[in-house]
Each structure stands twice: as structure tokens, then as C-alpha cells.
Amino acid sequence: MPLTDIAIRTAKPRDKAYKLYDGGGLYLGIQSNGGKWWRYEYRFGGKRKLLALGVYPDVSLADARERHAGARKTLAAGNDPSETKKEAKRAVLLKSENTFEAIAREWHTTNLNTWTPKHGTDVIKRLESNIFPKLGNRPINDITAPELLSILRIIEKRGALDLTQTIAQYCRRIFSYANATGRGERNPAIDLRGALKTPVRKHHAHLKASELPEYLQKLEVYDGELQTKLALKMLLLTFVRTTELRGAEWSEVNFDKAEWRIPAERMKMKDPHIVPLCTQAITILRELQKHTGNRQHVFANHHNPSTFMSENTMLYALYRMGYHSRTTGHGFRATASTVLNENGFAPDVIERQLAHIERNKVRAAYNHAQYLPERRKMMQWWGDYVDAVAGGNDKELSAILGRSHNAA
């Protein structure tokens, strides 16, 4: 006989558990402690099985019958209701574990060893400030391209176009990571290409070749610190990044081979870099050796013996010389690149010396020494060129320009 609400409410516990049947395998189990549990008793694969349908009164008689009916349909379709329920629970759990934030943090941890500590901190802070509050709790497979776009547009409206592009790139990588680890199905961030405003790129201010003679004359009479003056000369001759020059250590310099080997951890792209040293650069280093040869760093910090020249030292020197907004330390890279390209040096050789690293990781493993003989010749040509320009020797400069095409 089917159960009624009154019969269920008035059912009292006994010394032993007992059952009140509703029909079709559905029953209410009355426990000795007073608990009332809905169960569906059925057979699957020749075995007796039980499916928990909830606890009374949280699950009413009507609710229990509805769940029972669903389970019977599952059984009629040839599936085990218990396994179907377990699978549903696993899916819910998987969704909760595979939120965007959870996977993003896992991606971040996985990549930490390839980033500098500062970059690693910047990445997670940007995600925490701009993405996690809106998308962090969302299952990664539920996020759509329009939904992601709406979040990025909020950043874009602040005028932070570079940040918008950066975070969009993070998202592309996070979705790709989810796909690669078997928890993602698509990459909605890829669909956003062309949907965001592109920031106008401002190139580093740099000197033209025609402006070098005046600059070198001003540098020669610069009345500031000798170390700063020599650092600016060395920066022009080697056209490395300012942070790479400032952090140079004497242990990295090999006078016999006339080369400076910058270790991977100090390079922007985390790949070791060889700088062939022209005779002019060797002369500067010999002069510096008299002043800082007993220190760890070539360009030692006068105020703190354990570290090196501050990041603004060379920049402020350029300001004093009248080059505010006209060039920066980084700008000498563009100046050298332009002159070398215009004088017939192979673009691949120039790019390698600029440490614009090969993105293919297999090639990158040995690429730090690629074109080294050509680079040695090119760097000596550049040193001679700078010397001739500084001295105003047109005849010597003409001879140097005439041999440029055979230098690499």
C-alpha cells in the first residue's frame, strides 16, 4: 500500500530498524535512533543494489517519488542508477576543482621556475586584481569568449591597453594549459584576437647615425663620475641592455678570449649570451679594472660594496648632457642595429648579438654561440666605427664603411 505523509510523520522508531514500502522498490527506512532515509531497492546485472534518495523531512514523499521515477528511467535505459549518481557527483566535484582560478594558479606554479621572481609575482597579482574576482569561481569549460571579452573590456575602458593585452595573453596560456592537462575543451581567449584595442607602441628614443658625432663629443667632455662615463661608452660599444651592463661581474669577462659571457639568469630571455669585446671595449675594461677590479661588479656601487650601479645613474648622466627625451640607454641598441643593418651586416647576426632569442626551444639550447665568428668581426667593425666617428676622422670612417660588407 502506498505511503502517506501522515503515515511517515507518525512512524516511530523501534528497537530495530524497519522499512515502510511505497511500491516499485521505493521505501523509507526508519532507524532505531529516529532517522528516516529514503532508499530505492533494485537489481542490476543480477545483483541486489540500493540507491540513497535522501533524508526525510529534507526530502519529502513527493520529492522521493520524483527521484525514484528518475532512477527507474535510468534503469530501464540499461544503466545502473547508483553509478549514474556517482558519475554526476564526480562531474560536480570536477567542476569545483577545475575552476578558472584553480587551474590558473596551477599554471602559475608550473611556470614559476622559468620566470624571474618579480615577473612571477606580477603575473599572479594581475590575475588576482583583474580576472579572479569575476571568473575565478567559474568552471573553466563554462567560460565563453563573450564572457571573457566583457571582463577584458573593463580593463580596456580604464585606458590600460597594454595590461589588457597582457592579461588576454595570460588567459590564452591558461586555457591552453587546461586543454593540455585534459581538463579543458577549447580556448575562448583565441577567439578574441582582433576584438581588443591594440596599444600604440612607443619605441625607445634613440640617436640617428648623424647625431652620434655630437653625442660622442659631449660624452668625451662629460665631467661626472669616470665610472658613469665609461659605462656609457661601454653601453654603446656592446649595445646590451642597461640592466645587463650594470650587473656585469668581473668573473664573466675573459680578457684572453676578448669576450664577456652573461649567464642566463641575468638575461631577459633567460638564455646565456656572449658579447665579443672589441679592442675599444677591452681598453675601457682595463681602465675600470684599476678602480673596481677588486670588487665583484665591474660597475660597482660606491655606496653599497655588495651591489652595482643604480638604474638611474646612466639615464641622469644623459639628461645632464642634454639628451632628455632624445635617447635612453636602451636606445643605443636601436642606433647600433640601424647602422649595422645599413652597412650590410647579416640581419641574423645582428639579431643574435642583440639577444633577440630564437623562440624555438630546441634551437635555443645551442643558439647562444651561433654566428660567433661573424659577430666578433661585426663588433670590432662597430668599435672602429664609433672610434672614427668620435675622432671626426672622415678618411678613417670612409675606409671603415668601405669594408663593412666583407665583415660578416
Catalytic residue among 72, 291, 295, 356: 356
Catalytic residue among 39, 67, 241, 273: 241
Calpha distance 193→404 (Å, rounded): 42
Non-local CB neighbours of 73 within 8 Å, separated by 6+ positions: none
Calpha distance 164→153 (Å, rounded): 8
Residue 324 bears catalytic tag: no
Catalytic residue among 9, 19, 268, 361: 268
Catalytic residue among 65, 68, 229, 330: 330
Cell numbers standing for residue 291: 678602480
Residue 203 bears catalytic tag: no
Residue 356 bears catalytic tag: yes
Catalytic residue among 36, 333, 352, 377: 333
Q: Which residue has the cell 676622422?
A: 393
Rounded CA Rg of the chain: 35
Can you tell me whether residue 131 is helix, strand or coil?
Answer: coil
Residue 193 bears catalytic tag: no
Please answer whether residues 185 and 179 qualify as being in contact, where contact means their C-beta atoms are separated by less than 8 angstroms: yes
Q: In what order do the strands lie in the sheet with 253-254?
A: 253-254, 259-262, 273-276
Residue 11, burial from CB neighbour count under 10 angstroms (0-12, 13-18, 19+): middle
Residue 366 bears catalytic tag: yes
Calpha distance 361→297 (Å, rounded): 31
Residue 369: closest CA among 294, 286, 276: 276
Catalytic residues: 241, 268, 330, 333, 356, 366
